[in-house]
Amino acid sequence: MAPLLWLVLKDYQRRRILVFLNPNLDPLGAGYHIAQSKIAVGSGGAFGKGWLAASQSQLNFLPLNHTDFIFAVLAEQWGFLGCLVVLVAYFYIITKGFQIGQDCTDLFAALLATGISAMLAIQVLINTAMVLGMMPVVGIPLPLLSYGGSSFLVTMLCMGLLLNIHMRRFMY
């Protein structure tokens, strides 16, 4: 099936897959974002370079550093420790969402809470894996951190739904 699917893909999709498999294939073109992202993450080290002291993000070597690659900026400025704090906060929010879904007596509310939590988990997983070079670069923002009004609005609406489900979990 893979050869048949390869024929169906558009040129830019093929290029993304090839650059994902070999980032050095086009380091100044399609592979530029991921190469600069890896440099930013690696240069952060354990404790980072400090607030606004990061070279990759402050000198605009890393394009779109406020949207899709905000995790690379975080890793460069705050290092492994800062990334760990953010990932633990995401883990807490996501597990709390799954727990809200598990505590519900209403089936719809339980499915809604589980779906919202899964959506957040998948967004965090895809964005962090993309920034670290473990997945192809796609336009998935990091919830609550990436710049973007629509993503932030939808995430906050989902958080409000989770809180409402938690508040009314024993009513039905």
What token pair was written down for 130?
A: 């993309």
pLDDT at site 57: 67
Provide the residue-wise pLDDT of the chain in tens; the chain has 172 residues: 878 888 888 888 888 788 778 877 766 666 777 777 787 788 788 887 777 777 766 666 677 666 778 888 888 888 899 999 999 999 999 999 999 999 988 899 999 999 999 999 999 999 999 888 888 878 889 999 888 788 899 999 999 999 999 998 776 5
pLDDT at site 59: 65
Taking CA 93 as the corner, what is the angle to CA 160 and CA 67, rounded to the nearest 5 degrees? 80
Asked whether the beta carbons of 48 and 75 are under 8 A apart, the reply is: yes
Q: How far apart are CA 148 and CA 151, in angstroms?
A: 6
SS3 sequence of 90-155:
HHHHHHHHHHHHHHCCCHHHHHHHHHHHHHHHHHHHHHHHHHCCCCCCCCCCCCCCCCCHHHHHHH
pLDDT at site 108: 93
Taking CA 124 as the corner, what is the angle to CA 123 and CA 128, rounded to the nearest 5 degrees? 115
pLDDT at site 172: 57
Q: How far apart are CA 77 and CA 69, in angstroms?
A: 13
Q: How far apart are CA 124 and CA 141, in angstroms?
A: 8
pLDDT at site 94: 97
- Chain centroid to Cα 150, Å, comes to 15
